Structure 1
Amino acid sequence: MKKNYLFLLLCLCSVTANAQFGKLKDILNTGASSVLNNKQLKLLQNQPITTNFDDCNKRDLLPVDFGADSARKQLCALTASYTKEKGFLLTPGFYTGTFKSFCLQAGTYGPDKGNAYLFAPLAGPKEKTARTLISNWELHPEVEQRQVQLLLWAIVAKTNFSKLSAELQLVAAKLLNKNDLAGLGSTLVDYLSDEAMSKLTGNLPEPAKRVMEMENKIRGLMYQANSSYDQIERLAMLDGAAPVNPDFPGGIWGLHPDGYYIKYLPHSYSETEVVIYVPQKAGSIHYLPVGDVAVPASRGSQRLGQSNLLVCRK
């Protein structure tokens, strides 16, 4: 039994080290199925959020300086056209605005200006739950952005929601329905002591060791009623900057499936500026950010889930 459990954790480490970072079924070897039951194997194969740079359209791009001299309409001046169901109604032209956003990959570098961010749809086994969480936040202005971010980190770290603090469980109950919550009541790996983690990760290479330890520590802090946001944030974000991908410089435009071009300019993981170009041939389009992910060209950086909440500063 102990050998099987150790093998499960070692497989998890290998899988987690490749998170963001592609589809996970190919990572498992034939030996895994001989020691794991079907439920464990299914959980091991699935990352909660799978959106990654492979999901981006890397062919239909416009250069960084495209439209640099064009007048841009402020989305903050167009809120009268916004509806929660369809978003902003945009006619051909250029637009800009800053939206609240969320980190969807713990244990990665924060946003930087050297790498491009391209659109990809929110995807993965917990896509619906994450989308609902972000979308319904719009209806609850009393809920702080940090509380929503903690719940998203709890999802990506495979945290058992039934063990979260009473405060976070209350927030989750506001934003999610009973079916969503029921699906978050189990976890693949619970919190392990430092001694157990040391034995399990002592001979593992980086970054597998770091990621496994980080997710375990996040789960541990999530289960402590007195843990702070800053403590969890320090685990979720790596110091320094991700390597630059020279093929996709920061500020390039990517084509959205709805026919408009968009560039993402993150201010931080919690705020993302967008610049939108609607071509004449696209006609009028609706821009509804929720469900969109700004995905970095550097696979070591944070995926940024977009919300519908526009930041309008006076």
Structure 2
Amino acid sequence: MHTWNSIKRVAVRGTLAFALAAVVTDAAAAQIGGRLRGAVGRVTGGRLSVDQLVGGDHPITTSLPDARWAVDSLDNFTPREAKRSMMQLQRTPNGGFVLQPGYYELHNQSYCLKAGTHGPGGGDGYIFAPPKGPAEDAVMTIVRNSVNHPEISQSDIQTLLWAIIARAKFEDLSPQHKAVASRLLTPRQLTSLNRSALDLIPGDEMGALMDRVPGPVRQVVQAEAQLRNLLADPTASFSQLEAAAVLTGAVGLGPGSRAVPAGRWSLHPDGYYIRYLPSSYTNTVVQIWVPQGSPAVGKEYDPATHIAVPGNTARQRLIQSGRPYGNH
């Protein structure tokens, strides 16, 4: 029989081991940010604020240093309990699940929260981190409310999330997407998102900037600019948005990456274990293990508070949802 105290002692060792890696990753991010600030100053003479493009004002800032709950010591571990569908658990108004002891699985819809990066693949693993950033409330609201609106397609929900992370003007969205936004967000949230949106950057100015921005950052900034342009075009299709946001082809390791094997467990602060097995950015198999005696019993698993962060920073962050994928 698994006991909470014995498992927790093993987990703490893996959590502490990640602390040093987080410091290294922070240093790499700071180095890139410094190079980018210099590049913008040389190109634009200060007309563009680099913080507006890639800095602290970015709508969702969750990154690998925020994923502090990996449990390296449980790699290759499978709970002894029989695996059950998470859909058997009691649901919450947030579209979440009331946890009970056992081993559970849900194949859910997931969503890309970082344009200009690659989807899952190559055996890279993912770790739990919470949503952070100025738009965290709006992003979680969209994902939570989507559970009670099965008539809204996954592509429409993803479009709204891309509009947020690209800082597009919601007033420029198509009538269809404006209607979807009004069903999933409050008027206050819509006003706040519009206030923080960016104007379209002229092509010559953006081109000059891109020539001097480091590669990994350039891909993200360029993808967000393309999304803003497409979202303002009423004739643009979802496939065009996807092509701008989701990179294809070979992918190397991004700055500050960490070796994380597929299927690594994270120990959530509420006391349950969780791992993410994405098939693509659109769908992820989520497994949760609640040991006997865990303080997680009776608590809520709210998928909208879970971002699966890849060990390879060149891949996409994936927010989870309580909506089953396909017929699962």
Q: TM-score range by the shorter chain?
A: 0.7 to 0.9
What are the superposed Cα offsets for residues 75-130 of structure 1, whole Å, 9 maximum, x if unpaired?
23x05x22224832332221111111110000001012512211111110000011
CA contact (8 A) 1:22 1:52 kept: no
Contact 2:32 2:214 in 1 (8 A): no
Structure 1 alignment gaps of length 5 or more? 1-17
Q: Is 1:289 equivalent to 2:300 in the alignment?
A: no
Q: For the Cα contact (< 8 Å) 2:69–2:268, is it kept in 1?
A: no
1:293: Cα distance to partner? 0.7
1:25 Cα deviation (Å)? 12
2:171 counterpart SS class? helix
In the TM superposition, what whole-angstrom CA distance separates every residue of 1:167-191 from its partner, at most 9, and x where no partner exists? 1111111111111010121456422
In 1, Cα distance between the equivalents of 2:327 and 2:152? 20
Q: CA deviation at 1:213?
A: 2.4
2:260 maps to 248
> In structure 2, how many angstroms separate the alpha carbons of the residues matched to 1:224 and 1:200?
23
The one-letter code of the counterpart of 1:46 is D
Deviation at 1:276, TM superposition (A): 1.1
Whole-Å separation in 2 of the counterparts to 1:255 and 1:270 = 24
- Please give the alpha-carbon distance, in whole angstroms, between the structure 1 residues aligned to 2:264 and 2:85: 20
Q: 1:237: Cα distance to partner?
A: 0.8
Greater shift, 109-118 or 184-193, is seen at 184-193
Contact 1:86 1:287 in 2 (8 A): no
Structure 1 segment 161-180 matched on structure 2, within 5 A: 161-180=170-189
Moved more, 110-119 or 256-265: 110-119
1:102 aligns with 2:115: no
Q: Distance in 1 between matches of 2:212 and 2:63?
A: 28
- Alignment RMSD (CA, Å): 3.1
8 Å contact 1:294–1:303 — kept in the other structure? yes
Between 1:129-138 and 1:223-232, the stretch displaced more is: 129-138
Q: Are 1:261 and 2:281 counterparts?
A: no
Residue 66 to residue 153, structure 1, CA distance change in 2 (3 Å): same
Aligned-partner Cα distance in 2 for 1:89–1:221: 40
Q: Which of 63, 85, 88 is matched with 2:97 structurally?
A: 88
Give the distance between the partners of 1:24 and 1:47, measured in 2 at CA. 17
1:290–1:213 CA distance, 2 compared to 1 (3 A): closer
The equivalent residue for 1:202 is 211
Give 1:56's aligned amino acid. Answer: A
Aligned equivalent of 1:313: 327
Q: CA deviation at 1:49?
A: 0.0
Which whole-Å deviations, capped at 9, do the CAs of 1:178-224 have from their partners, x for residues lacking one? 11010121456422344443334334442343333222111111100
Moved more, 297-306 or 280-289: 280-289
Match of 1:279 among 271, 282, 291: 291
Change (3 A) 1:151 1:276: same
Q: Is the contact made by 2:170 and 2:178 (CA closer than 8 Å) also made in structure 1?
A: yes
The 8 Å contact of residues 89 and 287 in structure 1, kept in 2 or not, is answered as yes
Matched, 1:225 2:237: no
Q: TM-score, normalised by structure 2?
A: 0.78
Q: Which amino acid aligns with 1:227?
A: A
SS at match of 2:218: helix
TM-score by length of 1: 0.81
CA distance in 1, matches of 2:316, 2:283: 13
1:132 aligns with 2:141: yes
Q: CA deviation at 1:138?
A: 1.6
Q: How many residue pairs align between the two structures?
A: 291
Counterpart CA distance in 1 for 2:232 and 2:283 is 27
Q: 1:22: how far off?
A: 5.4
Higher mean alpha-carbon deviation, 186-195 vs 159-168, is at 186-195
Q: Which secondary structure does the structure 2 equivalent of 1:191 belong to?
A: coil
Alignment partners' CA distance in 1, 2:216 and 2:264 = 29
8 Å Cα contact 2:110/2:319 also seen in 1: yes
Identity of aligned residues (%): 35
Assess, with a 3 A threshold, how the Cα gap between structure 1 residues 228 and 91 changes in structure 2: closer, same or farther.
same
- Corresponding position of 2:199: 190
- Residues 1:292 and 1:36: Cα distance change in structure 2 (over 3 Å): same
Summarize deviations over 1:35-72 as a string: whole Å, max 9, x none.
869x9687453110011111112553443321266421
Q: SS at 2:105's partner residue? A: strand
**Alpha-carbon distance, 1:240 to partner:** 2.6
1:45–1:65 Cα change, 3 Å: closer
